[in-house]
Amino acid sequence: MTDRLARIYAIVIAIVVFFLTWAVVAARPWAEPTAAAKDPRLVALERREARVHRESLRVRTVLEHRYRVYRVKLRERKKQIAAINAANARAAAATTVTSTPSWSAPSAPSVGVVTAPPVTNTHTS
């Protein structure tokens, strides 16, 4: 009687263990979740984020290049302006000295009649 009861318990337990194992195997907990299982909107958003990031890197590179070129040109331009301003200041100082006519001792510049074709013409002002 006792042996029979024990066998019945053993069979029931074996059946329960069998079904539990089956359920666990059927669930395939070791398998990777598939892409199809992901929300497609989330996937699209992730792709867009990656694209925007790449574009921002490209834009930053272009801007940095353009700014370097601008800085170089600006430095050259400032040098040119400084050189011209210095030359203008020297010339203005020279003009102040040379523009005062002196009739008491006129020193007419060297001039003569030539046959070369004129580079410009003068007439009544």
Partner 1 sequence: MERHAFRAMGTDVEVLLEAPPTPESLLALASAEQEFHRLEAILTRFDPDSALSRLNAEGTIQPPAELREVVELALGARARTGGRFDPTVHDALVAAGYDRSFELIGSGPITERCSTPAGGRVHVGPALIALEPGVRLDLGGIGKGYAVDRTASLLAAHGPCLVNAGGDLAIRGVPAQESWPIGVETSEGELTLGLASGALATSGSDRRRWNTANGMGHHLIDPRTGRPSDSDLLRVTAVATTAVEAEVLAKALFLAGEREGTAEADDLGVPAVFVTVDGRTRLAGGLE
Q: Which residues bind partner 1 (CB under 8 A)?
A: 80, 83-84, 87-88, 90-92, 94-96, 98-103, 106-125
Q: How far is the CB of 119 from partner 1 (least distance, A)?
A: 6
Contacts for 35 with CB less than 8 Å, ≥ 6 apart: 43
Collapsing DSSP to helix, strand or coil, 33 comes out as coil
The DSSP secondary-structure symbol of 82 reads: H
CB of 122 vs partner 1, minimal distance in Å: 5
- Dihedrals φ, ψ of 5, to 5°? -65, -40
Query: Could you give the count of Cα atoms lying within 13 Å of 93 in the half-sphere of its Cβ?
Result: 5
Min separation Cβ 97 and partner 1, Å: 10
- Between 2 and 124, whose beta carbon lies closer to partner 1? 124
**Of residues 40 and 109, the one with the C-beta less far from partner 1:** 109
2/95 with CB nearer partner 1? 95
